[in-house]
Amino acid sequence: MRREGDFVECGVDTAVLSGTVIKLLEFQKLDRNFYLFDTYAGIPTVAGMTAHEKGIREFMNQRFYTDCFDFVADKMKAYQNVHLVKGLLPETLEVLGDRKISYLCVDLNNAPSEKLVMERLWGNLAPGAITVIDDYAHKGHEAQYEMWNEFAARHGLMIAALPTSQGLLIKARA
């Protein structure tokens, strides 16, 4: 909250995490926006996915994901500063323009999409902004783990592995 910028979550599903953040911070009272990006219908097939990531995609889409856009829209209708953006990433990120971001959460369940999103948004992150990386140290998500570590190293940073298997990346202050 002490950083300049809006909040962004890429990979929302039913908005459990973002919904918690929104309620905890009483987001409707803030002079910020929260952008929720997702297909709202599961994990898409993207170029560059490993065979393992394709397997995760198929399993997750069959077992857990349904079209949830209307559910999330209803859940967020009381928040005028929360914006649902439906579609594929990174293409839909264009709605952000050059808006500054203070909080970013990435949960796309595949390294190629997460890499493209992070490369597109890195310049938007305010100094000191945090990025929560879902599945960072989760078994079975090794391609994501390697991609994120390479990304952080290129920027002279390290990722903190959390007990939840998530990662935390903080953009260095200028």
Residue 104 counted as domain residue: yes
Whole-angstrom distance, CA of residue 103 vs CA of residue 18: 11
Residue 56 counted as domain residue: yes
Residue 166 has pLDDT above 80, yes or no: yes
Q: How many structural domains is the chain composed of?
A: 1
- So what's the pLDDT on residue 174? 61
Q: What is the largest CA-CA distance in the chain?
A: 44
Residue 24 counted as domain residue: yes
Binned at pLDDT 50, 70 and 90, residue 103 comes out as very high
Residue 160 counted as domain residue: yes
How many of the other CB atoms lie within 10 Å of CB of 99?
13
Residue 1 counted as domain residue: no
Burial class (CB in 10 A: 0-12, 13-18, 19+), 92: middle
Residue 109 counted as domain residue: yes
- So what's the pLDDT on residue 173? 77
CB 90 within 8 A of CB 37: no
Binned at pLDDT 50, 70 and 90, residue 119 comes out as very high
CATH label of the domain that carries residue 151 = 3.40.50.150
Q: What is the pTM of this model?
A: 0.95
134 contacts: CB under 8 Å, gap ≥ 6: 11, 105, 106, 107, 166
Q: Which residues share a beta bridge with 86? A: 38
pLDDT digits (tens, 9 = 90+) for 49-92: 889 889 989 999 999 999 999 999 999 999 999 999 999 999 99
Give the domain range for residue 102. Answer: 6-170
